[in-house]
Amino acid sequence: MNKRIKIWVLAGFIIILLIITKQFFNQKIDSVESLQNYMKDFGIAAPLILTFFQAFQVVVPVLPGYLGCAAGAVAFGSVTGFWCNYIGISLGSVIAYFLARKYGMNIVLAMFPEKQYEKWSRRVEKSRSYERFLFIATLLPLFPDDFLCYFSGLIKMNSKKFIWIIILGKPWCILAYSVAFGLI
């Protein structure tokens, strides 16, 4: 895909996301039922919208991932919410990794504070195995997973190892969020 097409696709995706976000904030969402009704208005596209939103929020980290996990579980239930969140977050994680591999430090410093990069660089230097550290980090809630995906691309971690860590490590925390928020 040439550069112009990529820019237009990204711009279109951002515009759609902004329209959906604006609609969301214009609605009066004051209960689980009102959120579910809001999502039903999107019909069969609703789970796809959540999946794309979760991928996007990893690539452009402005919201914590658990908010999307909560919304997905509340709107679609634990099972469907889990799958939308897992697929979206995993896809976004892999995209972030490859963006960092391609664009290097510039993209990371554009998205994250330099202090955060330095802090995690020091921690990684001290760890015996970054792969093991990354796997454990993906299992635990509230870790800076988005940053670690970009960081993994920067250090040129083996892509197959990275993808397997995401596939095997990501579902557990997302499952916990989905079950917990699905009970609401």
Write the pLDDT tens digit of every residue in 72-84: 888 888 899 899 9
pLDDT band at residue 57 using 50, 70 and 90 as cut-offs? confident
Give residue 8's pLDDT.
67
Of 163 and 64, the one with more pLDDT: 163
pLDDT at 63 over 70: yes
**Alpha-carbon span 153 to 149, nearest angstrom:** 7
pLDDT at 175 over 60: yes
CB 159 within 8 A of CB 97: yes
Give residue 24's pLDDT.
63
pLDDT at 108 over 50: yes
Give residue 1's pLDDT.
47
CB under 8 Å, gap of 24 or more: what pairs does 30-37 form? 32/74, 32/184, 35/71, 35/74, 35/75, 36/74, 36/75
Residues in the chain: 184
DSSP state of 142: T
**Alpha-carbon span 110 to 113, nearest angstrom:** 8
Give residue 21's pLDDT.
66
Dihedral-angle region of residue 43 (phi above 0 means left; psi in -120 to 50 means alpha; beta otherwise): left
Q: For the beta carbon of residue 154, count every other beta carbon within 10 angstroms.
A: 17
pLDDT at 94 over 90: yes
Q: For the beta carbon of residue 84, count every other beta carbon within 10 angstroms.
A: 28
Contacts for 114 with CB less than 8 Å, ≥ 6 apart: none
CB 169 within 8 A of CB 139: yes
Cα-atom radius of gyration of the chain, to the nearest Å? 17
Give residue 83's pLDDT.
95
